[in-house]
Amino acid sequence: MPEIWLNYGITDVVLDIRAENLEENIDSDGKILEDTQIAEKLNSLDTTKPIELVVLHHSKAVQKIISILFSSCEQKSRPIPRILSDRKILNLVKQGLPEGSVISEFEESNLTNSNLVFLSELEMDGLFGFETIATKLLKRFGTENMLSAYAKRKGNLPTPCQATDSLEEAKKFVDNFEIIGIEILANSKGIVDIAVGHPSSTISLTKTFESIAIKDVGKHKTMFISTGKDASNDTLGKSLNSLWNCSDAIKDNGLAVLVAECKMGIGSDAIQQYIEDRLSLDQIRNPSKYINGMEDLLFLNETQKRFQVALVSILPEFYAKKLNMISLSGIKHGMDYVLKTQGARQKVVVVSDGARLLLR
């Protein structure tokens, strides 16, 4: 029996699957950088002036960048960067910091502080094509511009790993500010590349991302999808990006089983309002204002017209049912459900790093 471990929050869970039921286990690719190569790329960052390092994403790759940056500052007798992070991930970021680090909540209401250096890991996104530092800053500081980015989506289905007009909106927004970004490209094994510079220029890393993320795998009836890391499945809204990345490789009337703990809940105002009957699907097709996460609600509704979606999470069953998803209480129940509904000989494709792969 193959032993396949899939990320589920801060831990991994084993998928008990017989060899005759496993069609393929798909993981990410890419040549990993040595620590010396990472340090060399970070040398372009000016550490002679005070740095306020804003951590937008918590992952092992982010932790490694911070550790190497701190070591470099110590070797050069430069001041150690001040670490800032949003409250919701502050404790998670704090756990991976080098000894002696000081971290506080990122509370700024604008981007006028030129000492800010934003650190994040590149992923894919259904609306923008890619989730970058620029798109994260647009969502946080440019709510009024988000309606325009939403209106420029390519139809009502997600378009991950594509250069989109919505991404151009994010680039135009950050062009107004003198800030620096450290954009990370990673996979399940380590860091593949990094880019240092203005967030409108570090987006260039998406080209490298395309070259290692896209896999032509054909169409499959049943797929188990793990996001690959807890930062990508801490909320339902975040975990849905992994579903979008794999949706093109799922057959019509097929089944996608999304493995996502969602320990921080829904993570989408639009999905939350929809569950509470305060927002309708008609309202999000041509909205007068942008509500956080409305694109994912729209994409989910359209995607479910083609195949079923099941969810392995700690979210209440009521939430899943309200979203027309099959609620599964554990990974074993997921496999049992497949064998019961599709037959004992059903072949299953397993995706181990869904946040950093694009299947087609």
We report the CATH number of the domain holding residue 325 as: 3.90.226.30
**18 & 105 share domain:** no
**180 & 263 share domain:** no
**284 & 183 share domain:** no
The reported pLDDT for the residue numbered 273 is: 97
Dihedral sign computed on CA atoms, order 297, 304, 233, 190: negative
The reported pLDDT for the residue numbered 98 is: 83
**126 & 221 share domain:** no
Instruction: Render each residue's pLDDT in the chain as its tens digit; 360 residues.
Output: 688 999 999 899 999 999 999 999 999 888 999 999 999 999 999 999 889 999 999 999 999 999 999 999 999 999 899 999 999 999 989 988 887 788 999 998 889 898 999 999 999 999 999 999 999 999 999 988 999 999 999 899 999 999 999 999 999 999 999 999 999 999 989 999 999 999 999 999 999 999 999 999 999 999 999 999 999 999 999 999 999 999 999 999 999 999 999 999 999 999 999 999 999 999 999 999 999 999 999 999 999 999 999 999 999 999 999 999 999 989 999 999 999 999 999 999 999 999 999 999
**283 & 140 share domain:** no
**194 & 319 share domain:** no
**18 & 101 share domain:** no
The last residue of one of the domains, among 210, 229, 244, is 210
**158 & 178 share domain:** yes
Domain that holds residue 169: 35-210
Number of domains in the chain: 2
The last residue of one of the domains, among 159, 182, 210, is 210
**81 & 102 share domain:** yes
**The model's pTM:** 0.94
**241 & 111 share domain:** no
**310 & 185 share domain:** no
The last residue of one of the domains, among 210, 237, 260, is 210
Tokens of 308: 């079923």
